[in-house]
Chain A
Amino acid sequence: MTELPPAIRLQSVSRHYIMGESVIRAVNDVSLMVPTGEFLALLGSSGSGKSTLLNLIAGLDRPSSGSVIANGQDLSKMSSLELARYRRQTVGMVFQSFNLLPRMTLEENVELPLRLAEVDRSERAARVREALLRVGLEKRIGHRPSELSGGEQQRTAIARALVNRPKILLADEPTGNLDSATGESILTLLREIQKNPGMTIVMVTHERTLAERFADRLAVMGDGKLLSNGAAR
C-alpha cells in the first residue's frame, strides 16, 4: 500500500511582526508535518503562536520566512488570488466565535462558500442539506443563528466549513465558547468527520484533556516555538 503524502508540511516557518522598534516573533522557526487523515491538536497558552500558525496553514496570513506546504501546494509562493482559491477549495475553517452571518438563515450561511466557489445553483440546495444533515441540523435549515444554541451555531459553522468538501479542516478553539458537554459533542462530531478518508483536522485548543481524548497527536507551542510534538494517547 502506497503511503499518502502529508497533508501539511511546515518547514522552518516564522512569522514576525514589527511593533515600533521591537520585533514580535509570533511563530519562530516551526517545522511540522501533519499526515493526511490525522487529527492534530495544537496546544499552548494564550499568545503562544498557535492561532498564528493556524492562520498560516489557512492561507489567511503569509510567513515571514520558511514554507507552508498544504495539499502539495506551497502557500508562500501563491498570489492572493490563488490563496483565495485554496481557501475555497482545500480548507474549511471553524472559529471560536462561530462567525456566522446573523442576518442569514442556516441555509444561507452554509450556502455562502458555494456561492464564492461559483457552484451551480441547482447543486447548492442538495449540498447544503447534506452538510446540515451531517451535523444534525437539517430541521433548522430556515432558522437564523440567533435562534440556535451555541453548540448548534458551532455545528452550523462546521457544516459551512464542510460544504465545499475540503481536504483539511482547521478549527480555532472550536469549544472555547461552549460549555464542557457541548464542547465534547462538537469534538465527537469532528472525530466522526475525520473518519472520512483523507480528511485532515488541525485544531487549536488550550483544553489539553479534551485534546488528549479526541486528537491523534498533540503539538505544544510556547513563545512561538514548537515545544513538543507527539501522539495523544
Chain B
Amino acid sequence: MKFRDLSDLAFRNLREAVLRNSLTTLGVAVGVASLVAMLSLGVGLQQLATSRLAKSGLFDSIFVTPKTNLRGPGSGPPATRAPAPKARPLDADARAEISRMPNVIEVYPQIRFFTEVRYDGKPFATMVAGMPESSKASGAFDGMQGSFFSSPNADEAILQAEFAKELNPQTASLIGKDLVLRYAERQSLPGQGGDPGENSGGFSVVPKEKHLRIIGVVETEPASGFGGFGSGRLLIPLPLAETLRAAQVNDLRDILRDSSSDKPTYSSLTVRVKSPSLVEATEAKLKDLGFSAFSLLDASKSLRIFFSVFDLLLGIFGSLALAVATLGIINTLVMAILERRREIGVLKALGAADGDVKQLFFVEAGVMGLFGGMLGTLLGWLIGRSLTLGTNLYLHRQNLPGVDISSVPWWLVLGGIGFAVLVSLAAGLYPASRAARLDPVQALRYE
C-alpha cells in the first residue's frame, strides 16, 4: 500500500478511538516533556556556567610569567643545577611585543600589593588589586552596590564586601566616601658611578599616599587569586595601579636577579585572545618567545565532560517517563488489535499483505509518537521556562541578578520529537507483528 493511503487509514483509525489515542499521545507527551525539561536544564546550566566562565576571562586568557618563575622548590639546590641560560625579562618591551601578536586583544599585568588603608581615622591592612577595564564585563560586578570605575585613571576604589564590612557594617553608606591608601612606591636608584643615566638595578622604597573615593562594593574579585597572592580586597583601575609604581612582592626577586633594565618588570602578564579556540596556538607562540605560559583550557575540557555526564544522567531520568509512555502505546495498540481483529481479517481477505498490516500499526504508533513528541517538546520548554521564572523570582527576592537556567536548542527540539517517534515505533513493533501474524480465517470469524 502507498504511504499516503497508509497514513490516511492510520489517521482514520486513530480518530476512531480518539479519547484513548489522545490519552496515549498525552502519555508520550508527558514522557518527552520530562526528558526535554531535564535536558533543557542540563543544557541551560552548562550554557550558564560556560558563559559565566567565558565572561570571567579565564578561558580566553593565557598567564605568562618569566621562565625562571617556574623553577620550583623541588629542583634541587642551586649548586647542583646546571647554570640556566639568562631568562628573558617580562618587561614593558615584552608586553608591547605580546600586544602586537595576532589574535591578542589585551595584555595586562597583575598588580597586587599590600597596603594600609586609613578610613575614618583608623588603619586597615589589606591587599590592593588593579582591575583592567575588561573585568567590567566579567559578570563579577553584576548586581554590585554602586558602580564600576568612571574612567581607567579615576581615583576611585571598589571594596570587596567583607573588607567593606570591616570599614562599616552598613556597606551602602560607604559609597561616595573617601579613604587614604598608604603604599610603598618603588623608585630606581642611580648607578654607583654617579652617572644619572646609569641604573644600578636597585631601588628605594618611598612611602606615599593616595586619596581614593569609594564608588562601589562587590561580593568577589573576578578571577581572584589566580597567579597572584590572594584576593584583592580593594580594587582600583589597573592603569591607576600602574602609575602608582607600588613595590610588589616580586621586586625583591628582580634585584636578586641582577636586572639591569630600569623598565618596569612584571611577575606575570595576562594575555587575552579573541576566543578560547585561539588559546592553544597563542600559548605555543608565547613559549617560543621565551616565556612560560599556561591556560585553563584543561579545566574547560573537564567542565564539558562533567556536563556531558550530567546531561546523560538527566536524560536517563527523563527517559523513565517516556519508557512508561511506551507501555501505554503497546497497550493501546494491543487493544486496537483485539477491537479491529475482524477488520484486519477483511483487509487481508481484500488482499492486504502481512507487511501492509504491520506498516499500518507502525504508522499509527509513529503518528502518536510524532504528536506526543511535538506536544511534549512544547511542554518541556514551558516547564523549563517556568523553572527559570521561579528561580529568577527567588533570586530577585535575594537581590541577585536573574539567570536563564534552561535552554531548548534546535537539536533538542528535533531530538525530542525524533526520539519520541523512534521510541513509539519500537513500542509498535510487537503489536504490529502480532497484527500482521493474525490468521485471516480466524480474524473473519471473530465477533
Contacts and interface: CB of A to CB of B under 8 A. Distances in A.
Interface of A: 55, 58, 60-61, 80-81, 84-85, 87-89, 93, 95, 99, 101, 103-104, 112-113, 115-118, 160, 164
B351 A117 contact: yes
Contacts of A87: 348-351
B284 to A, nearest CB: 65
22 contacts: A55-B441, A58-B349, A60-B348, A60-B349, A60-B441, A80-B353, A80-B354, A84-B356, A85-B353, A88-B350, A89-B351, A99-B345, A99-B444, A112-B347, A113-B350, A115-B9, A116-B350, A116-B351, A116-B356, A118-B1, A118-B2, A164-B351
B5 interface: yes
Given A55-B441, A81-B353, A116 B346 contact: no
B342 interface: yes
B351 A85 contact: yes
Residue among A60, A95, A160 having the largest count of chain B Cβ atoms under 10 Å: A60
**What 3 A-B pairs come out closest when comparing CB atoms?**
A88-B351, A84-B353, A115-B5
Given A115-B1, A115-B5, A116-B347, A99 B353 contact: no
Nearest to A60: B440
A59 to B, nearest CB: 9
Interface in B312-361: 342-343, 345-356
B351 A101 contact: no
Residue among A55, A60, A61, A115 having the largest count of chain B Cβ atoms under 10 Å: A115
Interface string B86-118: 000000000000000000000000000000000
Interface residues of B, number: 23
Contact of B351 (A95, A103, A113): A113
Contacts of B444: 60, 95, 99
Nearest to B16: A103
B257 interface: no
Contacts of A101: 343, 346
B352 A84 contact: yes
Contacts of A164: 351
Contacts of B346: 99, 101
Given A61-B441, A116-B347, 6 more contacts: A84-B353, A93-B350, A99-B346, A115-B2, A116-B351, A116-B352
A84 B356 CA distance: 10
Contacts of B441: 55, 60-61
A174 to B, nearest CB: 14
Contacts of A118: 1-2, 5
Interface string B36-80: 000000000000000000000000000000000000000000000
Nearest to B15: A103
B12 interface: yes
Nearest to A112: B350
Nearest to B342: A99
Interface string B6-20: 000100100010000
Contacts of B343: 101
Nearest to A166: B351
Contacts of B352: 84, 116
Contacts of A93: 349-350
Contacts of A84: 348, 351-354, 356
A81 B355 contact: yes
B354 to A, nearest CB: 6
A153 to B, nearest CB: 13
A11 to B, nearest CB: 21
A80 B346 CA distance: 16
Nearest to A113: B350
Nearest to A51: B441
B1 A116 contact: yes
A60 to B, nearest CB: 5
B277 to A, nearest CB: 54
A216 B347 CA distance: 30
A228 B136 CA distance: 105
A208 B141 CA distance: 101
A61 to B, nearest CB: 5
B8 to A, nearest CB: 8
Nearest to B351: A88
A118 B353 CA distance: 12
Contacts of B345: 99
A168 B265 CA distance: 104
Contacts of A60: 348-349, 440-441, 444
Contacts of B347: 112, 116
A101 B352 CA distance: 15
Nearest to B4: A121
Nearest to B9: A115
Contacts of A103: 12, 16
A60 B439 CA distance: 8
Contacts of B351: 84-85, 87-89, 113, 116-117, 164
B358 to A, nearest CB: 12
B434 to A, nearest CB: 16
Contacts of A117: 351
A114 B347 CA distance: 12
A87 B356 CA distance: 14
Nearest to B353: A84
Residue among A85, A113, A160 having the largest count of chain B Cβ atoms under 10 Å: A113
Contacts of A116: 1, 347, 350-352, 356
Interface in B250-265: none
Residue among A89, A101, A113 having the largest count of chain B Cβ atoms under 10 Å: A101
B73 to A, nearest CB: 82
A99 B348 CA distance: 12
Contacts of A99: 342, 345-346, 349, 444
